[in-house]
Amino acid sequence: MTSDQGKTIFTGRCGSCHDADASKKLPDGTTLLARLAKNKDPETRLATRLKNPQERHQVFLYLQPMIEREQSSAPGDKTP
């Protein structure tokens, strides 16, 4: 599997609620991307919806660069 497969899995199963880049605002005003960026183990957090470990890992590989960007741009999280 590749991260391209992760993108296919994510957009097919999660994209309608979260958009292809996990940035769609949810009813509470947060995004999946922001939630994952704040989580100590975002891959495990994905297990709430993605039960297959291989598919979950591929989705994580697809989302990982976006999660890292979100973490680095979060206010108050930057080191001087």
The Cα 5–Cα 51 span in angstroms is: 16
Residue 79 lies in a domain: no
Identify the pLDDT of residue 78. Answer: 46
Measured at the CA of 39, the angle between CA 38 and CA 41, to 5 degrees, comes to 145
Structure tokens at 59: 């989705």
Decide if 78 is inside a domain. no
Whether 21 is covered by a domain: the verdict is: yes
Please report whether residue 15 resides in a domain: yes
Place of tokens 């591929």: 58
Which pLDDT band, with edges at 50, 70 and 90, does 6 fall under?
Answer: very high
Residue 31 contacts residue 22 (beta carbons within 8 Å): yes
- Can you give the pTM of this predicted structure? 0.86
pLDDT in tens, 8-56: 999 999 999 999 999 999 999 999 999 999 999 999 999 999 999 999 9
Q: Provide the pLDDT confidence category of residue 3 given band limits of 50, 70 and 90.
A: confident
68 contacts 59 by C-beta, under 8 angstroms: no
State yes or no: pLDDT of 73 exceeds 90: no
